[in-house]
Structure 1
Amino acid sequence: MDFQSAMSGLQEFLERGGPILNWIMILTFVMWAFILERIVYFTTAHKGVTEKAIQEWAARSDHSSWYAHAIREQMVSEVKQRASQNVELIKTLVAVAPLFGLLGTVTGMVSVFDVMAISGSSDARSMSSGVARATIPTMAGMVASLSGLVFSSQIERIAKRSAQKFADQLGVE
C-alpha cells in the first residue's frame, strides 16, 4: 500500500466519522506523545537523575541530623516528582477518550434524527451516514483509551517502583 492510498483511506475514515473523530485523533496523538516522552525519560534520563542525587547525598558528611533528614526527603520528593511527571495527564487523556467517543455517538444520532425528520421516514439508506457518524467515534474513542490504558498503568507502576527504589537507596523510612 502506498502513502497516497493510505492518506486517502484515512481521510475517508475521518470524514465518515464526523468532526468529533478529528478531536479523538488529536487527543490520541497528544496522549501518545506524553506516553512516548515518559518511555524515553525512563530509558535515558531517569538513571542519570537518580545517580546524581545519590552522589549528592554521598558527598554530604552529615547523614543523621534533622537537616540531613529534610534534605533526604526533598531529594526523594524531587525524584518522585520527576518520575511521575505527566502520568496524571496521561491517565486523564485515557479517561477522556471514551467521552469524546460518546460525544461522537450523540452527534451522529442527532444527524440520524435530522434525516428522519427531513425525509419523514426511516429510510435505512439515508440514515446510514448518521449511523456511521455514531459508531465510528465510539469505536475510535474506545481503541484510543484501551491503547493508552495499558501503557499508562505500566508507566505509573514504573514511576512508583523507581521512586521507592531510590528512597530505599538513600535509607528513607
Structure 2
Amino acid sequence: MKITLPVAAICTTLSATAIAAPKTVTSTLSCGPATVTATSTTDPHVPPNDDFAWLAQKIMLSGTPAHKSVSLQVDPKAGMIAIGRQKALAAAVVSWACLTSTQGKTYVLLDVSCMRENDDGVCHGQKEWVRIVGTDGSHPDTAYAPQDPRYDALYKRLGISVDNVQLTGIF
C-alpha cells in the first residue's frame, strides 16, 4: 500500500524537524572590571513531550584581578538528567545581574533554574535560586543550599541587596 502525504504535511514535518535543532547562544554581561560570558546550548523540542532542555552551558568570568578566566559552576554536583532519550542539564543559569556593594565591590548574581523535579538532588526541592560570584572570582555562597536562610546575613555582610534587582535573560 502506498501512502501519499499532502505537500502541507511534508512541509510541516520538515519545519518541525528544523525547529527542533539544538541552538547555541553566547551572552555577555559586563560587571565592573569583569565580563561574564555564558555559552548555552538548548533544544526547545525534546521528544516525547516537546520539552525544552538545556544541553550544555559554560560560564566564564574574565577580567579578574589575576587576569585569568575563571569557569563558574552552578553546582559542582549538578549532573545530567534524561529527558526522553536526550541527556540534559539538571540545572542551568537562565538570567543574571550585576550588583555593586556599598563598599564599591562588584558581584554577579546568577539566577539558576532547575530543569526537572529534583531528579538528582541538585535542586533541593527548589525550582529557582540564586548564586553570588565576586568579580574577583570568589564564591561567597559556595556552601549554601538554595533558599538557605543564611543568605540575608550574607547580603548584609557583603553590602548588597537583591531586592528589586532587574535580571537579564541570557537568551
TM-score, normalising length from structure 1?
A: 0.22
Tell me: higher relative CO, structure 1 or 2? Use CA pairs within 8 A at least 6 residues apart.
1
Structure (1/2) with the larger helix percentage: 1
TM-score, normalising length from structure 2?
A: 0.22
Structure (1/2) with the larger strand percentage: 2
